[in-house]
A and B are shown apart, each in its own frame.
Chain A
Amino acid sequence: MNGLSYAWDFSVVWQYRDAFWNGLKLTVELASLTILLGSILGICFALLRGSRSRWLGIPITGVIELVRAVPPLVLLVWAYYCVPILSGFTMSGFFTAILALALYSSAFYAEIFRAGIQSIEKGHIEAAYSVGMTKGQIFRRITAPLAFQKIFPPLVSQCVLVVKNTSLVGYVAVADVLYIGQQISVQSFRPIEVLTAVAVMFLVLIVPLTVLAGMLESKYRKKYYG
């Protein structure tokens, strides 16, 4: 009858608070650098893919399709073990993780950016040409801001996925918050408490992000579209 009773004990979380704190900091660093690099790569891919040159467009499309189809964990392990074997060039797990996850997310960012750019009404661009603006000026002043408004919600979702995908880096021995949690579980025999704590930490990271995004979105909607 007592098979399902369980004495919860969250004191283990407090006991290892320093380790958790370090893991959390690393997760935040990983996530922010990956989001930054991934979206920069994504913009480049989106622009190059849209370019008229087939020599750029086709290989970029190929890379995007490949990277989107491969599971991120495979990409990560592959970058960590295979790239050094093939190239003789080794990097720390931290940087390998950022590169692999950024490349993975860039394929999704690229699709989001491309959809955003394509959604701009042709008339808005023609009006900009007709007042004498050049292509670069139009991108900066008209296309990019209008596209950004449209893609803001999917962009935020993608950033949330990036934050969660950082939890894979334990496989290449980078000590993020989940990796630390697993280590502590093994030592303390309290996996349920520890993993619950990890989940709460991800919630604390992500929920403010999405709440803030929702607030920003409704603010500009009200401003521009009454």
Chain B
Amino acid sequence: MTEAQPLLAIRDLHKSFGDVQVLKGVTLSVKRQQVVGFIGASGSGKSTLLRCINMLETPSSGDIFLEGQPIGFRDAGTKRVPLSQRELSLQRRQMSMVFQQFNLWPHKTALENVIEGLIVAQSMPLARARERGVRLLEKVGLGEKLDAYPSRLSGGQQQRVGIARALALDPKILLLDEPTSALDPELVADVLEVIRSLAQEGLTMIIVTHEMSFAHQVCDHIVFLDKGVVCDSGPPDHIFGATAEPRTRAFVNRYLQQTK
């Protein structure tokens, strides 16, 4: 990657909920086609960071840039003006989010879940949206389940619908918030397989995960968050091996012991 501008850049991001400071100055960048893993203990701020990128949380201070454009604000002279609903909508659909609890809409079929954003937020003609939705559901191995309601799908299938719904926006970056944490162990593999194939296609992704061996295999870059700051970062071999940072070592070792 020789391009100067990263796809996503985060600068000195802070986020507090009341008196609780969750993010205390996070700076990082994500290059095009990079797969970045966020790891860290619960409460380290990794999910909050991801949610700030998608503007589901408004940062207390700091900047997020997508292709050089500030997210959530517009610069008007010296002041920063919060974006309108419509402008925010335009920004949000350049990224998309896969949720830990899938968050499929229970009153819509798998296909309707996938195309809802296209037909409502983007006013895409139904036929075109359907075509894209069917293609994506086939891609995640659910071509047979187009008209099934979420309650009839297993957790793994629901999460794959969630991934298809996120891909339908044709995002520049896919944000995955612990995509397999809510799944039964035997269902995790299918979902990870889909994510792995997306990585191979060159989709830029950020994955918040507790699946250390998966992160090791699939991510190009790992960010270890501890108490709201980036404590350590680097290629997987650094984080899972060479790093000199004792907190990273302690965290990683704890996980490796658990999986043995």
Contact = CB atoms under 8 A, between A and B. Distances in A.
B106 A225 contact: yes
Interface in B33-62: 54-56
A171 interface: no
B92 A130 contact: yes
A133 B121 contact: yes
Interface of chain A: mostly helix, strand, loop or mixed: helix
B200 interface: no
Contacts of A145: 107
A127 to B, nearest CB: 4
Q: How large is the interface on B (under 10, 10 to 19, 20 to 34, 35 or more residues)?
A: 20 to 34
A52 interface: no
B120 interface: yes
Interface residues of A, number: 23
B96 interface: yes
Given A130-B54, A131-B165, A132-B117, A226 B151 contact: yes
Interface in B121-136: 121-122
Contacts of A126: 56, 97, 99, 103
A135 B85 CA distance: 7
Given A132-B90, A132-B121, A137-B120, A224 B107 contact: yes
Interface hub of A126, A127, A145 (most chain B Cβ within 10 A): A127
A196 interface: no
B79 to A, nearest CB: 22
Contacts of A128: 105, 116-117
Interface of A: 121, 123-124, 126-135, 137, 141-142, 145-146, 149, 223-226
A-B residue pairs, 4 tightest by C-beta: A131-B117, A132-B93, A132-B121, A123-B103
